Amino acid sequence: MTRLAAALAALLILAGCGPSDPKAGGAITLHVGSQKGSTKAMMVASGALDGATYRVEWSEFPAAQPLLEAIGSGAVDLGLAGDAPFMFAYQGGSPIKAIAAQTVGTYPAAALSILVPAGSPVRTLADLKGRKVAATRGSIGHYLVIRALIAAHLPPDYVALVFLSPGDAKAAFSSGAIDAWSAWTPYTSTALKQGARVLVDAPGLLEVHSFDVANERTLAAHRLILADFLAREARALHWAHDHPKDFAAVLARETGLPEDVALDYATKNSRLSVPLDAKVIDAQRTVLKDFQTAGAFKTARPVDAAFDPVSD
């Protein structure tokens, strides 16, 4: 038994809430959010939760922002979100902490992109002047628009940002109600299959970390359980990296995504755990600065206070 497992078992016994304790109604339940089913599919397909001394109850979300809202409210204990949506939610005052980090390094082509319809006359970012660009508020899509404008030395109000959920943005994009859509896989994969064209791509503009984000109350009460889940998730990430087809098959089954779209997601979003160290945390100061440049925040919470690494 590992030190972590032994400590976790001891904690459950001392707390009088072990898995078979009828007074506690059985094992502790960890409520975990999953974006488009990806985390759930990975953990289920890899068998990473086999033998866990706690239950996991899953909730699905279309994007990071509603997931982070659920974590902040306490409806969900833990979930994975990109650094931009995490910083956006944290700066909004949400009682959340990033407790572990993952990365894909530099995004592969068409994994995070600003898209335009196939017949659009828009050929460059400069052609979008005054045009409607949809993004989910506070998402990595929103952040891509900000980074693209900064890189092109264009002001934040150069385009007319329209904040929509992924589902509403997809409908608006298909109907021609917007001129461009800043999105990520699997949304980009589906749109490209239907004839969309990449106008701006993430490679060269940003490298995105993802964070396991926990509600502060959950972190205080169940730190060892969270550490155990993260250790299992790290193993699942390695499994998914080595078995993208197997991961994609379960993802398609869990979400209803077409198999080719699920495989595209599994291939382009192959993440691995990385230390939540000073270098990673310092990179988030750039994320905050960019959001401030775009006028998203008037005041800022200390960046360092947003992070509380959990490890064994």
Reported confidence tier of residue 26, pLDDT bands at 50, 70, 90: low
Reported confidence tier of residue 10, pLDDT bands at 50, 70, 90: very low
At 225, which helix (H) or strand (E)? helix 223-242
The rounded distance, in Å, linking the Cα atoms of 85 and 113 is: 16
Q: Which domains does the chain have, with CATH numbers?
A: 3-106+207-306 (3.40.190.10), 112-201 (3.40.190.10)
- Which among 153, 156, 144 is positioned nearest to 113, based on CA atoms? 144
The rounded distance, in Å, linking the Cα atoms of 113 and 181 is: 8
80: which strand partners?
A: 212
- Top pLDDT among 9 and 47 is at 47
Average pLDDT of the chain, as a whole number: 90
| pLDDT per residue as tens digits for the range 144-193 | 999 999 999 999 999 999 999 999 999 999 999 999 999 999 999 999 99
Q: Which two tokens stand for residue 291?
A: 């959001």
Reported confidence tier of residue 215, pLDDT bands at 50, 70, 90: very high
- Tracing tokens 């779209």 back to the chain, one arrives at 261
Candidate ranges 2-6, 120-124, 269-273; pick with highest mean pLDDT: 120-124
| pLDDT per residue as tens digits for the range 93-137 | 999 999 999 998 777 899 999 999 999 999 999 999 999 999 999
Q: 244 vs 40, 138, 208, 239, 251, CA distance in Å? A: 15, 29, 20, 8, 10
Q: Is 215 exposed, middle or buried (0-12, 13-18, 19+ CB in 10 A)?
A: buried
At 265, which helix (H) or strand (E)? helix 259-268
Mean pLDDT value across residues 268-281 = 93
Sign, Cα dihedral of 172, 255, 186, 216: positive
Q: 111 vs 25, 59, 106, 198, 303, CA distance in Å? A: 43, 24, 10, 10, 27
Residue 106 has a pLDDT of 76
> By mean pLDDT, which of 67-76, 204-213, 228-237 is the weakest?
204-213
Sign, Cα dihedral of 236, 241, 242, 248: positive
Is there a cis peptide before residue 186, judged by omega within 30 degrees of 0?
A: yes
Reported confidence tier of residue 23, pLDDT bands at 50, 70, 90: very low
Tell whether the model's pLDDT for residue 5 goes beyond 60.
no
Mean pLDDT value across residues 34-46 = 94
Tell whether the model's pLDDT for residue 22 goes beyond 50.
no
113: which strand partners?
A: 183, 201
Residue 89 has a pLDDT of 96
Residue 299 has a pLDDT of 85
Residue 12 has a pLDDT of 34
DSSP string, 166-199: HHHHHHHHHHTSSSEEEEETTHHHHHHHTT-EEE
Residues 96, 201 contacting (CB under 8 angstroms): no
Residue 1 has a pLDDT of 36
pTM of the model: 0.88
Share of the chain above pLDDT 70, in %: 91
- Count of positions (residues) in the chain: 312
Reported confidence tier of residue 311, pLDDT bands at 50, 70, 90: confident
Question: Coil, strand or helix: which one is 103?
Answer: strand
